[in-house]
Chains A and B, each alone.
Chain A
């Protein structure tokens, strides 16, 4: 039996049925890693010893008849900005190259209790700042479809590991597109959940008001199962919200929760997602998403997917979203402002890199930060300092927060007419290596379709929908209402079945 061709849900079903074991699944994954890693470099660290010990524990719990989850026994990769107790967590930075957390992120505890086995940590842009994974100080991750192309970023290692078949599932994080864009570049499925639906406890902070952890997988159904395990309230993240009990939430949130979301267990959530029908659903396409700069092949593939959604019963309609062009500048102002505050904790004293050639306290700070951070991180910290500084605060930071409200208002108005919004994930397919590094502004502009979602706190799904003339994957994006993950995954699942046939 070739374990690697199964989906995550199918693999776990075989483990549950006793047709294979957790250990065999892990063996197969490590064999694939050994084969692919010299070409892909998706991982920063592997934790074999720990993984085999955990695998045995999961097998024992399953053998004892314990009900874990529909993904029990499945090996998973975790982005290297999510804390794993005893396994180093580098954020792709020299600053944290030797950092070994003494606690688990909430999502890591959830994975463990659901019986998933973490086999390693994946490469990423330094502190999640970048969209090619090239700003990582630790590894040079390649796109499995074409190793001369980047995997996208910042969760490039996670997307590449799934695309290369090293794992079926991975965790990523998304502040401005960091799950969706690498998923599109590598041809896999990624979900950026509603802000607050997954706890950020133990996620190394980049821009706290925008960061969310989410699943990357081979298909929408696998992502649905993983998302259902990850979601929910955690006391240690005050912005997290109860997942399925609408009554426990503030009235505004409760009113947005719907039948698909309120399904309780991961099993129930997955069946609700699979039962979802597109008949009569209304999908809006912003005209601005098909403007200048969009690669022709990408536009064509997304239009074809829209036609496929129509054939599944949905009604497609175009609408105007003029605020779209202001989302990128607002996003970078807010993200950098929060980053400069969050990254002030790296002082060379409490943890992380400490410069050996410091003489006084001031030079411990300055030398450690100057030597420990890469150029993109320095640039964003300095930009953040600028937009928050006296004299510029109102015209940049405050202005950006006002634009954030305009973006949210415009999308809220759209969702009064539509069940979801469809568009591309990125203007082009995977960039060539080195192409984006020389011109940071050009790279920022590429985030035009993704950052709006983070500003408005909405969920969005990135789904492969064919290839361009060079055979590189094209991704489409479905944006949903707050807590509309169930609908997005349901629509994605139906569309994926149609596309694959």
Chain B
């Protein structure tokens, strides 16, 4: 598995992150080291092993369906960097 500059650019796009040229070079090298190491998992035969996501076999956790108040708009918007009235404000998205 070779980590190319194109792969790094692709991951930047997926992550909505833009690296500087210097960071890109370091990242390419670091990801190569890390992924080469992660490939050691290939030594292990996992045929027929059921993937485990939750540590314990607990499922379908439910609670009583009780009506309760949700957060006030003022609370929800309290940390918004840019707002107008009770809305989050963003740059124009439709031309």
Chain A residues within an 8 Å CB radius of B86 = none
* Residues of chain B at interface, number, CB under 8 A: 51
Instruction: Let me know if A408 and B30 touch, CB within 8 A.
Output: no
Interface of A is mostly: helix
A405→B49 contact, CB < 8 A: yes
Known: A383-B34, A402-B49. A209 touches B55 (CB 8 A): yes
Distance to closest chain A CB from B34 (angstroms): 5
Contact A102 B75 (CB under 8 A): yes
Taking CB atoms and an 8 Å cut-off, the chain B residues in 31-60 that contact chain A are 31, 33-35, 37-38, 40-44, 46, 49-58
Give complex CA distance A444, B34 in Å.
9
Given contacts A378-B15, A405-B50, A456-B55, contact A383 B31 (CB under 8 A): yes
Partner of A329, one of B41, B46, B91: B41
Minimum C-beta distance from B86 to chain A (A) = 13
Residues of chain A contacted by B82 (CB below 8 angstroms): 349, 354
Flag whether A227 is at the interface (Cβ < 8 A).
Answer: no
- Given A102-B78, A361-B93, A403-B44, A441 and B33 touching (CB < 8 A)? yes
With A373-B17, A406-B44 as given contacts, are A386 and B56 in contact (CB-CB < 8 Å)?
A: no
- Are A441's CB and B34's CB within 8 A? yes
Pairwise interchain contact B81-A354, C-beta atoms closer than 8 A: yes
Complex alpha-carbon distance, A358 and B91, angstroms:
8
Residues on B with C-beta less than 8 A from A382 are 8, 11-12, 14-15, 17, 27, 31
User: Does B78 lie within 8 Å of A349, measured CB to CB?
Assistant: no
Digit string of A358-369 for contact with B (CB within 8 Å is 1, else 0)?
A: 111100111101
| Contact between chains at B38 and A329 (CB < 8 Å) | yes
Indicate if the CB atoms of A330 and B88 lie closer than 8 Å: no
Instruction: Please choose the segment from A62-70, A151-159, A233-241, A262-270 that sits at the chain B interface, where 4 or more of its residues have CB less than 8 A away.
Output: A233-241
Total number of A residues with any Cβ neighbor in B under 8 Å: 73
Evaluate contact between A400 and B81: CB separation under 8 angstroms. no
Q: Does B84 contact A (CB under 8 A)?
A: no
Task: Provide the bound-state CA to CA distance between A360 and B16, in Å.
Answer: 14
Shortest C-beta distance, B75 to chain A (Å), equals 4
What residues on A are CB-neighbors of B79 within 8 Å?
98-100, 102, 350-352
- Residues of chain A within 8 A (CB-CB) of B19 are 370, 378
Given contacts A326-B44, A332-B38, A379-B31, contact A252 B14 (CB under 8 A): no
Q: For B25, what are the chain A residues with a Cβ–Cβ distance below 8 Å? A: none
C-alpha gap A236/B93 in the complex (Å): 35
Chain B residues with CB below 8 A from A340, complex form: 15
Can you name 17 A-B residue pairings with CB atoms under 8 Å? A100-B79, A102-B71, A102-B79, A103-B75, A196-B55, A329-B37, A360-B93, A361-B91, A364-B90, A386-B35, A395-B42, A399-B42, A403-B41, A403-B44, A406-B44, A456-B55, A457-B55
- Residues of chain B having any CB pair with chain A under 8 Å: 7-8, 11-12, 14-19, 23, 26-27, 30-31, 33-35, 37-38, 40-44, 46, 49-58, 61, 63, 71, 75-76, 78-82, 88, 90-93
List 10 extra interface pairs beyond A386-B35, A441-B37, CB under 8 A.
Answer: A196-B58, A349-B81, A360-B93, A364-B90, A365-B16, A382-B12, A385-B11, A396-B38, A400-B41, A457-B56
10 tightest A-B CB contacts, nearest first: A457-B55, A401-B51, A354-B81, A351-B79, A405-B52, A402-B46, A385-B14, A102-B75, A402-B49, A382-B11
